[in-house]
Structure 1
Amino acid sequence: MILVLLWGAILVSCLAYGLFLYKVLTACQLIDETGPVRGSELILAGLSLLVGVLQIASFFVPTNFYLSAIWLGGALVIAGLYRSGMTAYVRQFWEKQKQIPVFWLLFLAIVLYSTLSPDHFDSGIYHLPSIRWNERFPVIPGLGNLHGRLAFNSSFFVVSAAWGLTDLVGQTLYPLNGAIFLLVCWRLMSWKQTQYPVLSLLLLLLVLYYLTRHVFSPTPDLPATLLPMTMMLMWLDQKPGFGFQLVVMVLLIALCVTIKLATIPIVLALIPIGWAVRPYLTVSRVALVLSIGLAFAVPWVLRNIILSGYLIYPFPGLDLFSFDWKIPIERTHHERDYVEFWAKFRIHEAYMNVNYLKMSFAKWVPMWWERQGNFFNRPIWVVAVLSPLVMLSHLLAPKRRVAFNVLLMPYLVTLAGFLFWFLSAPDFRFGYAFIWLTALIPWLPILPEPAGERMLSLWCNRLAGSASVILIGFFVVYYLVIKHFPIQQYALIPKPLSYRDKGAYESLFTLRHTRSGLEVLNPVGSPLEQNCYEEEGKLCAPFFYPDLELRGTRIEEGFRSSLQVQKQMSLNK
């Protein structure tokens, strides 16, 4: 299957770049030797570099397969320069997989699910269209005027475009989520390399239950869950000193914010982490941390400005510019309000009522509670809400007080993330990492650890293996037996996300003309139906804006609203 090759290419190339970064930092004496560096940490560092480089490249060229080919070429050069190091890490992986045999059972499950077509409801609305726009053009001024959600500036879409291979295989592939999923699961299954193996096991079970359905889709929800979670686990296992692990944590914090703004509370972790390593800080090390932050933040903010005209979209309060491509403020308010509206009430956009957002806390919380479809959402949320009481109880038990002191700052950061999620946009998929960790961390001083490494590995492998067997069994029964999914047809290339499965082109889209003469396709049934899927022969958007116009004669010059132009002219007068 082609996705397996792409997973391998992404992970091994990121390993090479991560090793290169480690060698450079060591040679410059910017990091301390705090123990062996795990291969997964090198891959995470390389992944962060990949995102950072492609964000910058997106200002000048389309982020398509040419850039991924250049990236792979650079990885080959690095692998040649550090052949012994690369060989050692690959050999280490093969040796460890003998200790974690159930990983291959999980791998089989992910391969099976990756043959399916994405079923995330946002994928056809703006995930896939965003990836296609990145594949075809450098970042386009005012693209959000065509459809506001195309200005949801996730660096995940930029990287996904580079690995989509649309022009090579005739459809867009989504290998990035599968690669990240396997990497994080492998790390969670390395029971012997963490101080909290029971926590890793519980998180693994939650990841398999909630996120397996996302491994074959282009949603940023998966990395926006797994990467903050991984950063927090690294913090819990952090060794004293300014080591490579700390640099990876800083990279992950910066990366998470550019993938999904809902992860921004993770930035708070920099304060206690920085305080803990203050004896090891030097001017050059502080400069390194600041440089990492700026290297991710500046391109991301600039992309926000170019796509929408706002510093951070869709937050019109940060309205510092008056570019002609700026999205009209009323539509920006709508996008901001709908994110909150959907998260609280799970009502379709066509039936949005902004008066609901004026409800008191006591009124909207019961409505939100009733609309939690997943059985486990409610009990996990309740455990998270009660978690401060569990943490305070440790103060009353001298034996648990030491563990309480170690866990306090990581817990407070996750609690801040939990509160931010619940009070802003409480859709569970926006805050999985914060919810799970807030619920679980307080129980670590109480949870019993299995006696002995052998018993630990035995029980963890049994539970992880059982979960993988359940996933495989569900796939066989539901998709192969009940749904009659033709897996043999999609064994090489997965089933595409396409409007062609829904009906004839003419029955799905309506051609309309703006006042400036632009031809725009709208899905038939809009606003109830909002999917443009992979359509790129003509401009396509879920909503029709008659004021939409080009800023010049070519798409690369961008889009604008005549309403915004008229507003600027009035202000000038």
Structure 2
Amino acid sequence: MLSVVLIWIYVLITTYLTGFAFLKFVTSLECMHSQKGSKGTYKKYNTHFRASFIVAGLVVNTVYAELFSIFAGVGIAANVLMIAFCVLIAVYYREELIGDFIDVSRLFVTGYTGYYYLLIFLIMAYGTSHGLMHYDSDLYHAQAIHWIEDYGVIKGLGNLHVRLAYNSASFALSALYSMSFITGQSFHVMAGFCALMLAWQCLDLKDIVRRGHPIISDFARIMGIYYLFMVFDEIVAPASDYFLSTFIFYIVIRWLDMNVKHERSYVPYIMLSLLGVYAVTIKLSAAPILILAIIPIYRLLSGKNPGKRKALLISVLLAFIIAIPYFIRNLIISGWLVYPVTAINLFGVDWKIPKGIADYDAKEIKVYGRGFTDVETYGDMPLSQWLPQWFAGIHGLNKIMVILDIAAIAIYLVCLVYFFAVAINKKTEFGKKKVFNISRHSMLNFADFITISTTMVVCLLFWLFTAPLIRYGEVYVCLTFAIIFGRLLVRGFNLLDADGIFAKRLIAITAIIIAVWVGYKGVNVVKEDMPRFNPDYLLVQQDYGRYEADTFQISGMTFYYPVEGDRIGYDLFPSAPKNMDGEIEFRGYDIFSGFMPLKN
């Protein structure tokens, strides 16, 4: 745990500094200034949440690690260079940063808020120190991170181990902060750190009592807390699913908060859209989240202000900067721009993974996601056959949530029809005028509700018809019904007398129920953790698994493969899931030249 805490402090400092510099630069651009009122002056947007600096820094440092990996291994040199940049940033912005530090320090003096954040920090660090290592982490996550640490990127690496072609930006981020160059142990703390960001964001749920009424983001936060309890004993693993889910939760919650508060500036919406692009580089299944970019694009294209056009061009440029390193790594590792999608075949490189292998791999992902393992039998099964079997295989709360999602989609369709009917017949400007007369300003307007609901429904359906393993799409399963039903509940509450006894008692009872539920889940987490408790993990994080292995050689270089099964862990490097002798070869004389399929 101590190792996790120390690395997290390093992560907090470096991400805060790089994120601070990035957001300061973007908001300083004149085209990013917002007009106050229809005829007001243009003012610079001020970032309201310090967590935004950290999240922005995670994106900046990930892109940095990906770019660095194209030229060299991401190890001590990458960290030294990053630290040098951070020192320059700290010196340049020293007065503002000192002011921020003083403001944060006041959280521990003027109330209990600072201690709440510290407590969550320590709890999440404990959860990240040990737990259930994900099967895929010992299968290929650890090896993928090891390759980035030692070599950066190698041409045709996917030919050695097809799973290594599953490129994810999260692996580059994990390699940057693994600290393997210090002790030889590669620490895997970044999935837990992303979970920490979500946990801190969910802490704002406590404001429901002070506020005296619910808002729609409260329901997203409740599901975020539920998700954190579900994965608390798993965030020790560097699986991309945890990175993706926590970022999707973050995007949706922050988007709901801004819309409820009727944020006028388009800058924070641009930043969330860029975070959506980043989420896609973690896992391509997040692509539908980019629907939320409709809001800033519409705002930037509306009107005749040339500054908005410039802001749009800068936003597109930033999106490309985030995405291009990911696609370059894809091409180098697999020979395909988007592996295992073979429909996009733009490059005839000699290290390309054979099309047949890529197509089979894509089918295997789809079949596995539907709950089957036999690709030959279930690979081409029609929807009418696999969907009932998939649904029957879901149990417990997951099945209940899927049923709630189905009901929520039905409600969404009714709302969508109503939205367009009113828009066509009455020419209502939904972005400016609310469809319902409500007494509160802190309610998501109908057009924004349709936008976020459409995004979540499309995300859910995209997941369902590609690879509907619950682990892959838990975030969509949780958020879809929470947002749609949440707005109905908020609408119902707003019909009550806010200052009445019933409304106050309802809020108090709700707060008590949430507190009891969190306490109950917390007790269960402690009970489940007790058999796994090891005092050694209070100092050093649990390592990857270790397995018995055999060896094979390629041009005199030794490679490892597991004697049983297909997992190999981190230490035995380089490795493959099986003996690849006679199947692949070096493109040149050594490993730096890359791998290619053996020519017949």
Normalising by the residue count of structure 1, what TM-score does the alignment of the two structures yield?
0.87
* Residue of structure 2 equivalent to 1:552: 588
Q: Report if aligned partners of 1:146, 1:559 keep a CA contact under 8 Å in 2.
A: yes
Q: Report if aligned partners of 2:220, 2:479 keep a CA contact under 8 Å in 1.
A: no
Q: Report if aligned partners of 1:105, 1:465 keep a CA contact under 8 Å in 2.
A: no
* Residue of structure 2 equivalent to 1:571: none
* Residue of structure 2 equivalent to 1:479: 529
- Taking the aligned partners of 2:9 and 2:486, their CA distance within structure 1 comes to 35
3-state SS, counterpart of residue 543 of structure 2: coil
* Residue of structure 2 equivalent to 1:221: 241
Alignment of 1:286-305 (within 5 A): 286-305=312-331
Query: Cα distance, 1:195 vs. partner?
Result: 4.8
Alpha-carbon spacing, 1:399–1:426, altered in 2? closer, same or farther (3 Å): farther
Q: Report if aligned partners of 2:131, 2:234 keep a CA contact under 8 Å in 1.
A: no
Q: Report if aligned partners of 1:127, 1:157 keep a CA contact under 8 Å in 2.
A: yes
Deviations 1:390-425 (A, max 9, x none): 235554994589843330011111111111100011
Residue of 463, 473, 478 corresponding to 1:421: 463
Alpha-carbon spacing, 1:155–1:77, altered in 2? closer, same or farther (3 Å): same
Q: Which moved more, 1:135-144 or 1:161-170?
A: 161-170
- Taking the aligned partners of 1:122 and 1:546, their CA distance within structure 2 comes to 26
Query: Cα distance, 1:80 vs. partner?
Result: 2.6
Q: Report if aligned partners of 2:552, 2:579 keep a CA contact under 8 Å in 1.
A: no
Letter in 2 for 1:308: S
Alpha-carbon spacing, 1:31–1:356, altered in 2? closer, same or farther (3 Å): same
3-state SS, counterpart of residue 550 of structure 2: strand
Alignment of 1:142-291 (within 5 A): 142-191=156-205, 192=207, 195-236=215-256, 237-238=258-259, 239-279=262-302, 282-291=308-317
Residue of 333, 343, 354 corresponding to 1:317: 343
Query: Cα distance, 1:464 vs. partner?
Result: 6.4
* Residue of structure 2 equivalent to 1:434: 476
* Residue of structure 1 equivalent to 2:19: 18
Query: Cα distance, 1:368 vs. partner?
Result: 1.1
- Taking the aligned partners of 2:513 and 2:4, their CA distance within structure 1 comes to 27
Structure 2 residue 411 is matched with structure 1 residue 390? yes
Deviations 1:25-57 (A, max 9, x none): 233323223555211112111111111111111
Q: Report if aligned partners of 1:37, 1:245 keep a CA contact under 8 Å in 2.
A: no
- Taking the aligned partners of 1:479 and 1:272, their CA distance within structure 2 comes to 43
Deviations 1:155-200 (A, max 9, x none): 1101111111113123111121222111122122224499535224
Letter in 2 for 1:372: I
Alpha-carbon spacing, 1:305–1:460, altered in 2? closer, same or farther (3 Å): farther
Query: Cα distance, 1:124 vs. partner?
Result: 0.2
Residue of 124, 142, 150 corresponding to 1:136: 150
Alpha-carbon spacing, 1:138–1:108, altered in 2? closer, same or farther (3 Å): closer
Q: Report if aligned partners of 1:301, 1:312 keep a CA contact under 8 Å in 2.
A: yes
- Taking the aligned partners of 2:130 and 2:250, their CA distance within structure 1 comes to 27
Q: Report if aligned partners of 1:113, 1:475 keep a CA contact under 8 Å in 2.
A: no
Letter in 2 for 1:89: D
* Residue of structure 1 equivalent to 2:375: 353
Query: Cα distance, 1:315 vs. partner?
Result: 0.9
* Residue of structure 1 equivalent to 2:71: 60
When the two chains are superposed, the root-mean-square deviation of aligned CA atoms in Å is: 3.0
Q: Which moved more, 1:2-11 or 1:236-245?
A: 236-245
Q: Report if aligned partners of 2:300, 2:311 keep a CA contact under 8 Å in 1.
A: no
Letter in 1 for 2:26: L
- Taking the aligned partners of 1:15 and 1:463, their CA distance within structure 2 comes to 35
Residue of 333, 336, 359 corresponding to 1:307: 333
- Taking the aligned partners of 2:505 and 2:184, their CA distance within structure 1 comes to 49
Query: Cα distance, 1:513 vs. partner?
Result: 4.9
Letter in 2 for 1:247: I
3-state SS, counterpart of residue 511 of structure 1: strand
3-state SS, counterpart of residue 522 of structure 1: strand
Q: Report if aligned partners of 2:160, 2:584 keep a CA contact under 8 Å in 1.
A: yes
Q: Which moved more, 1:390-399 or 1:354-363?
A: 390-399
Query: Cα distance, 1:225 vs. partner?
Result: 0.8
Alpha-carbon spacing, 1:17–1:82, altered in 2? closer, same or farther (3 Å): same
Alpha-carbon spacing, 1:317–1:180, altered in 2? closer, same or farther (3 Å): same
Residue of 539, 543, 551 corresponding to 1:496: 543
* Residue of structure 2 equivalent to 1:343: 369
Query: Cα distance, 1:135 vs. partner?
Result: 0.3
3-state SS, counterpart of residue 18 of structure 1: helix
Q: Report if aligned partners of 1:34, 1:243 keep a CA contact under 8 Å in 2.
A: no
Query: Cα distance, 1:462 vs. partner?
Result: 5.7
Alpha-carbon spacing, 1:554–1:461, altered in 2? closer, same or farther (3 Å): farther
3-state SS, counterpart of residue 549 of structure 1: strand
Deviations 1:262-308 (A, max 9, x none): 11111222234311343465332122111112112222111111100
Query: Cα distance, 1:81 vs. partner?
Result: 2.2
Alpha-carbon spacing, 1:129–1:537, altered in 2? closer, same or farther (3 Å): closer
Alpha-carbon spacing, 1:346–1:107, altered in 2? closer, same or farther (3 Å): farther
Q: Report if aligned partners of 1:102, 1:465 keep a CA contact under 8 Å in 2.
A: no
Alpha-carbon spacing, 1:232–1:456, altered in 2? closer, same or farther (3 Å): farther
* Residue of structure 2 equivalent to 1:505: none
Structure 2 residue 592 is matched with structure 1 residue 561? no
Alpha-carbon spacing, 1:65–1:251, altered in 2? closer, same or farther (3 Å): farther
Alpha-carbon spacing, 1:100–1:367, altered in 2? closer, same or farther (3 Å): farther
* Residue of structure 2 equivalent to 1:522: 561
Alpha-carbon spacing, 1:293–1:111, altered in 2? closer, same or farther (3 Å): closer
Structure 1 residue runs without a partner (length 5+): 503-507, 567-573
% identical aligned pairs: 21
- Taking the aligned partners of 2:518 and 2:541, their CA distance within structure 1 comes to 21
Q: Report if aligned partners of 1:142, 1:309 keep a CA contact under 8 Å in 2.
A: yes
Letter in 2 for 1:371: G
Alpha-carbon spacing, 1:248–1:441, altered in 2? closer, same or farther (3 Å): same
Deviations 1:211-251 (A, max 9, x none): 32332111111121111222223322245544441232132
- Taking the aligned partners of 1:398 and 1:282, their CA distance within structure 2 comes to 31
3-state SS, counterpart of residue 530 of structure 1: coil
* Residue of structure 2 equivalent to 1:331: 357
* Residue of structure 1 equivalent to 2:549: 509
Q: Report if aligned partners of 1:16, 1:78 keep a CA contact under 8 Å in 2.
A: yes
- Taking the aligned partners of 1:402 and 1:259, their CA distance within structure 2 comes to 29
- Taking the aligned partners of 2:579 and 2:168, their CA distance within structure 1 comes to 21
- Taking the aligned partners of 2:105 and 2:166, their CA distance within structure 1 comes to 40
Letter in 2 for 1:44: V
